Amino acid sequence: MVQKLDYLKETPSQTAGPYVHIGLAPGAAGFDIYRQELGWDIAGPNAKGERIRVEGIVIDGTGNPVKDVLIETWQANADGVYAHPESEGEVEEGFRGWGRVITDFETGEWGFDTVKPGPVKARKSLGTGPLHPPAHAGDDWLGRGDEGHEDMAPHINLWIVARGINIGLNTRLYFDDEAEANAKDPVLNLIEWHNRRPTLIAKRSERDGKVVYRFDIRLQGEGETVFFDV
Partner 1 sequence: MSQAEFYQRDRERHPAALTPDYKTSVMRSPRAALISLQQSVSEITGPVFGHNDIDPIDNDLIHNYAKDGESAIGERIILHGRVLDENGRPVPNTLVEAWQANAGGRYRHKKDSYLAPIDPNFGGCGRTMTDENGFYFFRTVKPGAYPWRNWVNNWRPAHIHFSLFGTSFSQRLITQCYFEGDPLIAKCPIVKTIPTQDGIDSLIAALDMNATVPLDSIAYKFDIVLRGRRSTLFENRLEGN
**Chain residues 17-56 in contact with partner 1, contact rule CB under 8 A:** 17-24, 26, 29-31, 33-36, 38
Shortest Cβ 193–partner 1 spacing (Å): 9
Contact with partner 1 (CB under 8 A) among 43, 57, 83, 173: 83
Across the strands, what pairs with 169? 160
List, in order, residues 6 or more apart from 120 with CB less than 8 Å away: 76, 80, 82, 151, 152, 154, 155
3 state SS of 172: strand
CB of 26 or CB of 49, closer to partner 1:
26
Residue pair 146/134 in contact (Cβ under 8 Å)? The answer is yes
Contact with partner 1 (CB under 8 A) among 184, 196, 203, 204: 196
First to last CA, the chain: 33
Residue pair 115/48 in contact (Cβ under 8 Å)? The answer is yes
Contact with partner 1 (CB under 8 A) among 98, 150, 176, 212: 98
Shortest Cβ 22–partner 1 spacing (Å): 4
Q: Footprint of partner 1 on residues 113-172 (CB under 8 A)?
A: 120-123, 126-127, 129-131, 133-134, 137, 140-142, 152, 155, 157, 159, 161-170, 172
Contact with partner 1 (CB under 8 A) among 7, 93, 147, 194: 7
Size of the site for partner 1 (CB under 8 A): 90
Residue pair 103/65 in contact (Cβ under 8 Å)? The answer is yes
Q: What is the largest CA-CA distance in the chain?
A: 69
